[in-house]
Amino acid sequence: MPKDTASTLCPPPNSLVVALAYDGLCLFEFGVAVELFGLPRPEMGSDWYDFAIASADPGVIRSTAGLRMEVDGGLDLLQRAGTIIVPGWRGADTPVPKDLIDTLRCAHANGARLLSICSGVFVLAATGLLDGQQATTHWRYTDKLSQMYPRIQVVPDVLYIDTGQILTSAGSAAGIDLGLHLIRRDKGTAAANTVARRLVVPAHRNGGQAQFIEASVPKPHESERLSPIFDHMRQDLGGAHSIEALAARTGMSRRTFLRRFKTATGTTPAKWLLAERLRIAREHLERSERSIDDIAHLCGFGSPTNFRHHFRKELKTSPTAYRRQFGRSEQQTSRVL
């Protein structure tokens, strides 16, 4: 699951998003930053993000694929940014230049938000700004991050963490999830959904990194065979859905069903069903005016108390607070189609 531990929204001091470029630039992570924040989006109105690229190294930047590029400026650009994105880094053991560390610390003190994608967390960690805070990174780097920076509370099983002014994401594609989350924070749910549609990706993904480690690409026949089960559970969110009953519907033994369900989804039926209930609940909170009691029953939680318990446990906030932060407003609806 994503994790939002922010006590305040920490709005940026301005709309300028600056992506950090460096020799050995990770192109995918950099492309995520450009796609989310650097493209013109006239459909969003006049208050969309401004975007620039700052180089951490002098001269022409070379990417991991050998691409050479010139950028907008040097580290001075970071001092003007409202949001700074660190799209990966050269390596966990590669030292972070002192001038970059000093510049990021200064930008943070001036109110800029710092966002890392994948291994970019090692740059933020080197500044000391993550000490005592929660952070995440790609599952391959979580142990390394803990060893190098024991004062950071490394959370290995989430797609991203938002602590307010500093945001960190897991593996490369999780940068898309975090970017959409930030757009939702800044511009509202409708804007995030619009960008997600342009990218042809979900506006919000459930789950954590663990589901991608063991079986990142499920075998097609497993998912196809279990599709009727997924539909059945979605149509009856409040049902008991015992393992025995679900296995019987597929003609499998209990053991075979559980194994194939995990292969297809990366989780158990109970956890998958809870994630679906929470997903539908979030949609109601974002888009409808239904009461908390109605949403609890519609989504199969049985009672508002049970709904609030699971919502807070998984999303670290209450349904009411979530609606206040992400609910649709007339302003958002009129601005974004």
Structure token pair of residue 106: 């200064």
Tally Cβ neighbours within 10 Å of residue 9. 12
Do both 258 and 303 map to the same domain?
no
Q: What is the mean pLDDT of the chain?
A: 86
| Helix extents (H) in 27-165 | 27-33, 76-80, 98-109, 121-127, 142-148
Do both 17 and 103 map to the same domain?
yes
pLDDT, tens only, 265-290: 888 999 999 999 998 998 899 888 89
Do both 58 and 187 map to the same domain?
yes
Do both 119 and 236 map to the same domain?
no
Q: Is 42 exposed, middle or buried (0-12, 13-18, 19+ CB in 10 A)?
A: exposed
The pTM of the whole model exceeds 0.85 = no
Helix or strand run (H / E) with residue 276: helix 269-287
Do both 22 and 102 map to the same domain?
yes
Q: Print the domain residue range for 318.
A: 271-335
* Domain containing residue 283: CATH number: 1.10.10.60
Is 209 a domain residue?
no
* Domain containing residue 195: CATH number: 3.40.50.880
Do both 315 and 257 map to the same domain?
no
> CA–CA separation, 53 vs 141, rounded Å?
26
Q: Does pLDDT of 332 surpass 50?
A: no
Do both 7 and 83 map to the same domain?
yes
Do both 170 and 242 map to the same domain?
no
**Residue 212: per-residue pLDDT:** 46
pLDDT, tens only, 145-183: 999 999 999 998 888 999 999 999 998 889 999 999 999
Place of tokens 């030292």: 95
Do both 19 and 91 map to the same domain?
yes
**Residue 52: per-residue pLDDT:** 96
Count of domains in the chain?
3
Of 173, 199, 225, the position where a domain reaches its end is: 199
Do both 157 and 260 map to the same domain?
no
Of 265, 283, 302, the position where a domain reaches its end is: 265
Residue type (1 letter), 190: A
Place of tokens 């920076």: 149
Q: Does pLDDT of 188 surpass 60?
A: yes
Is 205 a domain residue?
no
Q: Does pLDDT of 214 surpass 60?
A: no
